[in-house]
Structure 1
Amino acid sequence: MQTPKSKQPHSRDYEAKNLLVLEGLEAVRKRPAMYIGSTDTRGLMHCLWEIIDNAVDEALAGFGDRIEVVLDGDGSVFVADHARGIPVDTEPRTGLSGVEVVFTKLHAGGKFGNSSYNATGGLHGVGASVVNALSTRLDVEVDRGGATWSMSFRRGVPGVFDGDGPNAAFTPQSGLRKTGRVAKGVTGTRVRYWPDRQIFLADAELSLSHLHDRARQTSFLVPGLALDVADRRGDEPSRETFVHVGGITEFADFLAHDAPLTDVIRLQGHDAFVETVPMLDDSGAMTPTDVERDLDVDIAVRWGTGYDTTVKSFVNIIATPKGGTHVAGFERGLTRAFVKSLDGTRLLKAGEEIIKDDCMEGLTAVVTVRLAEPQFEGQTKEVLGTPPVQKLVTGIVERELAEFLTSTKAAVRPVARTLMEKVVNASRTRVQARAHKENQRRKNALASSALPPKLKDCRSTAVDGTELFIVEGDSALGTANVARNSEFQALLPIRGKILNVQKASVGDMLKNAECASIIQVVGAGSGRTFDLEAVRYGKIIFMADADADGAHIRTLLATLFFRYMRPLVEAGRIYSAVPPLHRFELINPKRGYEKYIYTYSDAEYQRKAAELTKRGQAFKDPQRYKGLGEMDADQLADTTMNPRHRTLRRLTVDDAAAAERVFEMLMGNDVGPRKEFIVEGAYALEADRIDA
């Protein structure tokens, strides 16, 4: 019986003739993802980074202070610099011009030794040649030696086009052409290429926002370098120039989104290490050779009042989003510096320990190192692998940061102590949060004694639709307990005004019984460990009296949630109940009127009284509620708790930075701005509106 074709066994022939040898740039076109990571938008952008980074490497070496990038409407990309220009003389081993070697030979360039570049982003000598191989057309012009030299390529093959664009007729031809003259001393390189749509996915496109982000980032890392980005695609061309002289100090400030606890601190140092690398000897053989490498470390750190951590790392201005030995060294040095500095204080109690996460809470850091020929994992250079870097960076960070933390300078000492207190409080919060998280699970946790006994929980175990009312005072609790729908409404009473957490430390907040109860009942932890998915209720509703004290209590509660449970606020799950201020009881109400009418402000009261009088509707002297406890259960349910009739105000955050400033002004330690705010408000207040 014949074996079906799909089931035919593979041939057992396996000889030298079966081997496929990919010559030159064929390997790049056969396996592009090996060189650029992918063939989607990410890979398309990586090609652009390779060309831009070559120009940036020249700026790093001290040549050229401007780079131009243009995304053109015909699908091409143009990059120009005003640096030294690619060498145009003949490379002796290949007999080709320097330009042709750079764009057609893998692992060829000026970055394998220390003669042309000390610290570069390009290392493997494949960047320009890979872009060339993956382009339907690439044109390069070099100004050098008083002349303009030109060369074109089609999918990596040198030649001549008889017109513009990638579809022009093409004749293969090796060699550099002299196409013009320039003033002596004028140098630079211009590259225009059309990505090959046979390689890249149909939906891959060049992202202007990503290009802007990369240009902005580079301008921070190379102070004084201007990157001019133009987009000529579409009907609305744009152009933007990025240049920053403040370096990574300015970069750290740009990345931070919370109020500063410290100014930006620069941790800088220089060291050297010996690395064994293969080197070409005089006979052309590769010989293991010990080479001394210089390492420059420059790190900008800044702590804020928030909890999020942002660390951006770079090697020779190339971003390493997955870190590497330099980031590992930074984190270890950071932790050691705090542990060493805290040993000389009484801030840390016996049995308490500091870990990396405590030190990095609220940290914004830009970690940069520069060294010759760093070892990256792959051509995409996302991870630095040079082993000696970790130990050297650890030593520099530990020394420089410990010097700051233990400084006796009058301007530095209080800031350093505040920073160390933040780290200690972060450690205590971590321990407390872990205990909370272990003890608090959704509704089945109610079976344990972890939840406060004063909580009046609801029967429903579904998050959606359940509500937690945080109620001011025991008197209101009794009425609210009768008024609520116990199927989905839970009650948590608080006694008076809770702690102002904007002024208090994390430790003090956790020691406060009311704050701890609220965090415990919400069930999702606090600060960095807050888990929105673990919240036990769909809505959190503040229910306080409609007077000045009630407003103060709502503000204190809002401060607690914004500072320690912010994702709940950002998710729009925090509300404030709106209880009525007045009640009209109508005498023999006319058709269309209920017996009781409620108003929620003095202005509404005045309008309603005038309306009833005008219509001839008699009513008893209106009752003004001084607190929630004055209502009976039916009144509280109808006006404040029943979803069909009540009014809720949702607390939202449109601008986190602005909200942070308002909370700090109203609730923080600095009295001056708050006094100014109150005085300005007093002049705007009408005297007859004061309820006295």
Structure 2
Amino acid sequence: MPESYGADSLTVLEGLDAVRKRPGMYIGTTDSQGLMHCLWEIIDNSVDEALAGACDHITVTLHTDGSVEVADNGRGIPVDVEPKTKLTGVEVVLTKLHAGAKFGNASYNAAGGLHGVGSSVVNALSSRLDVEVDRDGKTHHMAFHQGHPGVYTDADPAHPSPDSPFKRTRKNKPTELEIIGKVSPRTTGTRIRYWADPEIFNDTAQFSYEQLIDRVRQTSFLVPGLKITVIDEHIPETGDAGIDELREIDDIVPPDATNDTAADTSATDTDAADDATAPLLDGFTEAAATSSSAGSAAVAVAKADEAGHTHRRIEEFCHTGGVKDFVDFLSNGEPVSDIWRISGQDTYVEETQAVGENGELHAQKVKRDCGVDIALRWVNGYDTVIRSFVNVVETPGGGMHVDGFLNGITKQIRKTVEDNARKLKVNLKDPAQKVERDDITAGLVAVVTVRIAEPQFQGQTKDVLGTAQVRPIVTRMTDKQFGEMITGSKRGYKEQSGRVLDKIVGEMHARIQARKTKEVTRRKNALESASMPPKLSDCQPGNDDVAELFIVEGDSALGTAKAARNSAFQALLPIRGKILNVQKASLAQMLSNKECAAIIQVVGAGSGQSFDIEQARYHKIIMMTDADVDGAHIRILLLTLFYRYMRPLIEAGHVYAAVPPLHRIALAGSHKGEFIYTYSDDELAGKLADLDRRHIAYNPDIQRYKGLGEMDADQLADTTMDPRTRMLRRIRMEDAAQAAGIFSLLMGDDVPPRKQFIVDNADDFDRSKIDT
């Protein structure tokens, strides 16, 4: 028999107990993601003060005892009594769900924390939370344990602990704020310090220092002029107050800042070893000891904080350029256009539930303001980077604002392509030649932000904006302003819009071409091999895991290479001279170039955004060019092609450069018939000196190779093609990334920087490096 089911079977969870019972409903998960979400809630409340114009500095401190503190110089949480609950504003905000000043428009016109649960949820999921508020010339303090107000008795007030004795305030008794100090009447702000509760979060939950820095950096972009400081106390005090902090160029640097680096970044934290909450911050400790990536906004620092302690790492962020600076930061690659800006203000009407004087809810239509601020640019790559935000809260899933933006640019680009079809070489009668959204977003970097009151999100985690009225506003604004830019009717945009359209149409042609050649570029049978370029000397099928493609310079070298290769796994593709410089050519021009098209077809994995390395027909791509200046130039042109349109090959380490010798020394006497190859003039001189010292005879008529065609098959095999004896140079991704800037400088369209580079480096020119 089933148990009886009556009213006594029901459980009523009061206050914040429901949050502790079902934390996933409020923070998503109880792992690292949920742990970080709690921090975002507290930071977002301070950022909302900045959006309201009441705050210009936020400090986030990571304490060694596992706690996190967020301080701002905003207005401070209200400390007076709320009439309905008879509780102080501080207690209402931190203990009551769906309570706050963001349900109306009086205090916050646009805010990130809108559901009134952020601070109270963090309080409920913390083993301890302390809040201090500066208002009315006084500093007010209150403490909580798992969401319940009360008083802690700390053995050392300077080092509060969640394990200290706690006396809970009696139920239904108003809790008075404790006044612990005095401040200037003009000083206001809020400081919240909390210890995440290990009873709630699982053992794998860890804070991520890198996520914190990324979030703080993006917030500083989105709220121009807001300074955010992150202090990491997990790196121990050094007592060295004379070392100033290092910051990146895009951060504010004080006039007295220097570029001295702090001495030691390793650390152990014995004080927090026994603390129950310390494991939740292990990720910070590890990052503090190892972080040296270029993505950090600042490196190890030493600077005294307000309490007189000296910390190794203090990172500060402040930007004044807004989303334009953000796009510049996110851009990775050679720009095709400048950063374009779309911004404006519009209104919409929304039916919502309003709170009456007596606390009752009633429906009413409200006129809302919608502020739009978008920055975008195209770069020469094919990756898409679109970051979207509502009131500085990121919406990773996009939403109505992103849909409106993409609808606007898609409409305008398609219309402009149709209007300029002849110039762009687009056949409007061919239904396949239609620009798709993927063609448009290839290489697009954009930041889309809107500011509205009481936005509708899908869930408390705010991943997707659901306010439908925002989409047509963003679409209309994008349609008008972007339309003026892409058509070139706006002054200064004609040349840029031309480059953008060339890129987009080139992406369209590449997609169409990839679709057409998808089945014929994979070597599976003799029929497909026959479809390859006739000049390809392919290897035998069935050796894909070891197959090598040699890109050979010239027909004379091809003849020798055919005799020198192992046809079981080595294929040859000759190229005639120097291929197209794809750095300053459009995608359409690249695809129409016979040499470039042949290389892409033979490799068999597509190009650009459609490139699939799993479809590559060869395990190694080897550039085999002469050991002279022309050969080096050809290698640069080939590398530019691979880097721009087949980059995964370089990232996976499949691209190599053969290293052919420059000289051959024929030994004489007892060593007759033996040969020594050298690869530079310096090596030749050193080798001859060594032979003379060892009294080994050699033919003084040193053979110098002016090209691969001068070698016979045995020589070419021994030095360049036989895996047992050859020398290859692997092209690494970091090499290509470093060279990208040089490619742009020396091979791009912009002449003045190239001229200046030559002038600046003329005095350092080494004539001995000229190949004669």
TM range (shorter): over 0.9
Q: Distance in 2 between matches of 1:50 and 1:680?
A: 51
For the 8 Å contact 1:464–1:537, the answer to whether it is kept is: yes
For the 8 Å contact 1:257–1:657, the answer to whether it is kept is: no
Q: CA deviation at 1:460?
A: 5.1
Q: 568, 584, 599: which is aligned to 2:665?
A: 584
CA deviation vs aligned residue, 1:143-194 (integer Å, no higher than 9, x gap): 2223222211100111111113111111111412231333323221111111
Q: Aligned residue for 1:350? A: 427
Q: CA deviation at 1:355?
A: 1.9
Q: 380, 398, 409: which is aligned to 1:334?
A: 409
Please show how residues 54-133 of structure 1 align to structure 2 within 5 Å: 54-133=45-124
CA deviation vs aligned residue, 1:537-585 (integer Å, no higher than 9, x gap): 1111011222333222222211211221122122222111112222233
CA deviation vs aligned residue, 1:206-236 (integer Å, no higher than 9, x gap): 2222211111111111111111111112435
Q: Distance in 1 between matches of 2:44 and 2:24?
A: 19
Q: Distance in 1 between matches of 2:769 and 2:325?
A: 48
Please show how residues 411-450 of structure 1 align to structure 2 within 5 Å: 411-444=492-525, 447=528, 449-450=530-531
For the 8 Å contact 2:505–2:588, the answer to whether it is kept is: no
Matched, 1:176 2:255: no
Q: Aligned residue for 1:406? A: 487
Please show how residues 153-302 of structure 1 align to structure 2 within 5 Å: 153-163=144-154, 164-173=160-169, 174-179=174-179, 180-235=181-236, 237=311, 238-281=313-356, 284-302=359-377
1:245/1:686 CA distance change after superposition, 3 Å: closer
Q: 601, 607, 625: which is aligned to 1:544?
A: 625
1:371/1:638 CA distance change after superposition, 3 Å: same
For the 8 Å contact 1:230–1:240, the answer to whether it is kept is: yes
Matched, 1:652 2:732: yes
Q: Aligned residue for 1:317? A: 392
Q: CA deviation at 1:284?
A: 5.0
Q: CA deviation at 1:679?
A: 6.4
Question: 89-98 or 108-117, which moves further after superposition?
Answer: 89-98
Q: CA deviation at 1:685?
A: 5.7
1:655/1:552 CA distance change after superposition, 3 Å: closer
For the 8 Å contact 2:61–2:231, the answer to whether it is kept is: yes
Q: Distance in 1 between matches of 2:525 and 2:148?
A: 69
Give the match's secondary structure for 2:632. helix
Q: Distance in 2 between matches of 1:71 and 1:479?
A: 66
Q: CA deviation at 1:657?
A: 5.2
Q: CA deviation at 1:674?
A: 4.0
Question: 268-277 or 439-448, which moves further after superposition?
Answer: 439-448
- TM-score, normalisation: structure 1: 0.93
Question: 430-439 or 277-286, which moves further after superposition?
Answer: 277-286
Matched, 1:623 2:703: yes
Matched, 1:599 2:670: no
Q: Distance in 2 between matches of 1:88 and 1:339?
A: 57
Paired AA for residue 356 in structure 1 = R
1:283/1:162 CA distance change after superposition, 3 Å: closer
Q: CA deviation at 1:38?
A: 1.2
Question: 266-275 or 366-375, which moves further after superposition?
Answer: 266-275
Q: Distance in 1 between matches of 2:208 and 2:448?
A: 26
Q: Distance in 2 between matches of 1:202 and 1:103?
A: 26
For the 8 Å contact 2:142–2:178, the answer to whether it is kept is: no
Q: Distance in 2 between matches of 1:136 and 1:45?
A: 16
Q: Aligned residue for 1:502? A: 583
How many residue pairs get aligned? The number is: 681
1:293/1:479 CA distance change after superposition, 3 Å: same
Unpaired segments of 5 or more residues in structure 1? 1-9
1:627/1:426 CA distance change after superposition, 3 Å: same
Paired AA for residue 532 in structure 2 = L
1:260/1:689 CA distance change after superposition, 3 Å: closer
CA deviation vs aligned residue, 1:263-317 (integer Å, no higher than 9, x gap): 2211012111111222344665433322221111000112222222211110000
1:686/1:90 CA distance change after superposition, 3 Å: closer
Q: Distance in 2 between matches of 1:691 and 1:196?
A: 69
Q: 488, 492, 495: which is aligned to 2:573?
A: 492
Q: CA deviation at 1:496?
A: 2.2
Q: CA deviation at 1:423?
A: 1.9
Q: CA deviation at 1:260?
A: 2.0
Give the match's secondary structure for 1:490. strand
Q: 703, 723, 734: which is aligned to 1:643?
A: 723
For the 8 Å contact 2:603–2:618, the answer to whether it is kept is: yes
Give the match's secondary structure for 2:320. coil
For the 8 Å contact 2:628–2:771, the answer to whether it is kept is: no
Q: Distance in 1 between matches of 2:497 and 2:353?
A: 46
Q: CA deviation at 1:654?
A: 1.8
1:439/1:390 CA distance change after superposition, 3 Å: farther
CA deviation vs aligned residue, 1:445-499 (integer Å, no higher than 9, x gap): 8635432232222225354322111112222222212211122211112222222
Q: Distance in 1 between matches of 2:526 and 2:225?
A: 59
For the 8 Å contact 2:665–2:698, the answer to whether it is kept is: no
Give the match's secondary structure for 2:557. helix
1:450/1:291 CA distance change after superposition, 3 Å: farther
Give the match's secondary structure for 1:233. coil
Give the match's secondary structure for 1:419. helix
Q: Aligned residue for 2:613? A: 532
Paired AA for residue 687 in structure 2 = K
1:70/1:482 CA distance change after superposition, 3 Å: same
1:313/1:444 CA distance change after superposition, 3 Å: farther
Q: Distance in 2 between matches of 1:215 and 1:108?
A: 26
Q: CA deviation at 1:342?
A: 3.1
Paired AA for residue 602 in structure 1 = D
Matched, 1:573 2:654: yes
Question: 279-288 or 165-174, which moves further after superposition?
Answer: 279-288
Question: 259-268 or 461-470, which moves further after superposition?
Answer: 461-470
1:161/1:620 CA distance change after superposition, 3 Å: closer
For the 8 Å contact 1:142–1:150, the answer to whether it is kept is: yes
Q: CA deviation at 1:682?
A: 6.7
Q: CA deviation at 1:409?
A: 5.3
Question: 127-136 or 562-571, which moves further after superposition?
Answer: 562-571
Paired AA for residue 447 in structure 1 = E
For the 8 Å contact 1:29–1:134, the answer to whether it is kept is: yes
Question: 39-48 or 471-480, which moves further after superposition?
Answer: 471-480
Paired AA for residue 629 in structure 1 = G
Paired AA for residue 365 in structure 2 = D
Q: Distance in 1 between matches of 2:696 and 2:187?
A: 93
CA deviation vs aligned residue, 1:120-142 (integer Å, no higher than 9, x gap): 00111100010000011111122
Unpaired segments of 5 or more residues in structure 2? 155-159, 237-264, 266-310
- TM-score, normalisation: structure 2: 0.84
Paired AA for residue 606 in structure 1 = A
For the 8 Å contact 1:311–1:367, the answer to whether it is kept is: yes
For the 8 Å contact 1:443–1:536, the answer to whether it is kept is: no
For the 8 Å contact 2:629–2:771, the answer to whether it is kept is: no
Q: CA deviation at 1:95?
A: 1.8
For the 8 Å contact 1:347–1:421, the answer to whether it is kept is: no
Q: Distance in 1 between matches of 2:93 and 2:329?
A: 37
Q: Distance in 2 between matches of 1:215 and 1:682?
A: 43
Q: CA deviation at 1:688?
A: 7.0
Q: Distance in 2 between matches of 1:673 and 1:314?
A: 36
Q: Aligned residue for 1:663? A: 743
Q: 713, 718, 721: which is aligned to 1:633?
A: 713
Give the match's secondary structure for 1:107. coil
Q: Aligned residue for 1:5? A: none
